[in-house]
Amino acid sequence: GAEMRKLHREAATQLLHQLYDRNARREFCPLDTWLQKGFKMDAFGIHSTTEDSQTLVVLREFPHVIPLDERCRIFKRLIAQDQAAQTFPTTYVKIRRDHIVQDAFTKLGVYREQLKGVVKVNFVNESGLDESGIDMGGLYKEFLTAFIEQAFSPEYGLFKYNNSKELYPNPASGSQVSNHLDLFSFLGRMLGKAMFDGIQMDLPFCGFFVSKLLGKHNFIDELPSLDPDLHKNLMFVKNYQGDVSDLCLDFSVSADEMGGSGLHELVPGGKNLDVSNANRIQYIHLMADYRLNKSIKAQCEAFLRGFQDVVSVEWIRFFNPTELQILISGERKGDFDVEDLKRHTEYSGGYSASDSVCRKFWKVVSEMDPHQKSLLLKFVTSCPRAPLLGFANLQPPFVIHKVRANRSLMDTFTRKEEKRLPSASTCMNLLKLPEYLHTSTLREKLLYAISSNTGFELS
C-alpha cells in the first residue's frame, strides 16, 4: 500500500543520491545526464521560495535535476530575501592590524545571528593609532580576507593541509589552541558571513570536509582526499594474498601520527585484538571512519553550528561538495572569460573604456595564459578565481584606476616610458594602472607585478 510506496520512493531517492555523489567524485557519465530535460524555471514557481514551494521540495530531494547556474541564482535570491528582512543595527569594530584574529574573536565572537547585519571596521596600526578612512565596505572586505587567510592558515593550528594544500580541521587543535571549539564555531560563522555578503574567499577545502558541511557521513572512498598514503596502505591490507596477521596490525591507532597524543582503540580492547584475514574489512572501515569522522567530530560539529547561525544549512544542500567549494571560492579553473570581465569593469581617475592605455591592458590580458589570469585576479581581488555566475557578481566591481604619470615636461616630449609598477587595493577590487606608452612595457610591468605580488598597498 501507501507505506510500501513511500519506502520504495525513499530507497530509490537514496540510491540516486549515492550514484550522483559517486559521479561527482569520479565521473562515469556526463554531468548533464542528471538534468531534467526541457527544464523551465518559470514553470517551477521559482519566485515563491517559501518553505513548502514545489521548487524547494525539488531542491531538497533532487537538486541535481536543476542546472547549477539556476541553483546558484536561487541560493542568492534566498540570501537576498534574508538580508532584506534583517533589522540588526550596524556593528562598529576596531581591529589592530597585528592582532586581526584575536581582535575579531574578542569583538565579534559574541555575535551569532547578528552577524547577518552590517559590520564596519576601523583599523588600528602597529603604533596603536587609528588609521584614517571611513569604511564604505572596502575596509570590511580587507579585514574579512585577512582574518580568513590567517585563521585558516595551518600556522594558527586550527586547520591542516593535505598533500594537495587543501584544508581540513586539525585533529589535534585542542592541544594547540585552548578554546579551539569556540574558535571553530566562530570560523564557521565568518565563512557563513562571507557567503552571506557574496565575498569569495580563497579557501581550498578537502573534499571530505566539504561533505561534512553538507551533513554527509564520509566513507572510505573519501579517504584519498585526506590521506592518500593511508588509503593505499588499507587497500594493500584488503588485497593482501598471504596471512594478514603477518603484518602485525591491531585495532588501535597512534594519535601521535595525527599530532595528538596517546593511543586510540578502534574497538574496546582494540590494542589486544590482532587484524586477521577474517576481520580485516572491519578494520579497514573503522580506520577510515576514525580518520575521516571520529578524530575531528567535535571540530566539524562546532564549525557547522557556527556556519548555520548565518546561512541555512538547507540552502547549501542544494549543492554537491564540488559545487559548494566553487560557491565558496569561485570557478575551479583559473581561466576566465576576458570579455565578461571587460563588460563588468568600471573606470576611474580619468580612464574610460576607450582610452589607449585601457585598450592595451585588455590586449595584454587576452593574451595571458590561465595561470597568469588567475594571478591577475588574485592580485586585484585577493581571490584567484572568477565568481560562479560571472563578473556581474563580483563585489565590489573590478575597477581600473588611472595613476598620473610622474613625467617631467622633458620626459613627455621625449616620450620617456613610465617606470612605476601597477598596484592594487584588493579591498576595493581596484587596479591602479600607470599611463604606459607602449603595450610591451605594460605587459612587462603588469606580469612582473602580479607574479611577485609587489603591488599590494593599503589605501
Q: Which residues are catalytic?
A: 427
Only one residue has cell 557563513, namely 192
Listed residue (365, 76, 375) closest to 357, CA to CA: 365
Omega cis (within 30) before 396: yes
**CA gap 11, 15 in Å, rounded:** 6
* Residue 442 and residue 361 in contact, taking contact as beta carbons nearer than 8 Å: yes
Q: Which residue has the cell 573519501?
A: 222
> Which residues fall within 8 angstroms of residue 61, CB to CB, at 6 or more apart?
13
CA pair distance 196, 201, nearest whole angstrom: 12
Cross-strand bridge partners of residue 130: 124
Q: Give the 3-state DSSP-derived string for the chain, with helices as H, strands as E and coil as C.
A: CHHHHHHHHHHHHHHHHHHHHHHHHCCCCCHHHHCCCCCCCHHHCCCCCCCCCHHHHHHHHCHHHCCHHHHHHHHHHHHHHHHHCCCCCCEEEEEEHHHHHHHHHHHHCCCCHHHHCCEEEEEECCCCCECCCCCCCHHHHHHHHHHHHHHCCHHHCCEEECCCCCEEECCCHHHHCCCHHHHHHHHHHHHHHHHHCCCCCCCCECHHHHHHHCCCCCCHHHHHHCCHHHHHHHHHHHHCCCCHHHHCCECEEEHHHHCCCCEEECCCCHHHCECCCCCHHHHHHHHHHHHHCHHHHHHHHHHHHHHHHHCCHHHHCCCCHHHHHHHHHCCCCCCCCHHHHHHCCEEECCCCCCCHHHHHHHHHHHCCCHHHHHHHHHHHHCCCCCCCCCHHHCCCCCEEEEECCCCCHHHHHCCCCCCCCCEEEHHHCEEEEECCCCHHHHHHHHHHHHHHCCCECCC
Whole-number Å distance between alpha carbons of 391 and 395: 9
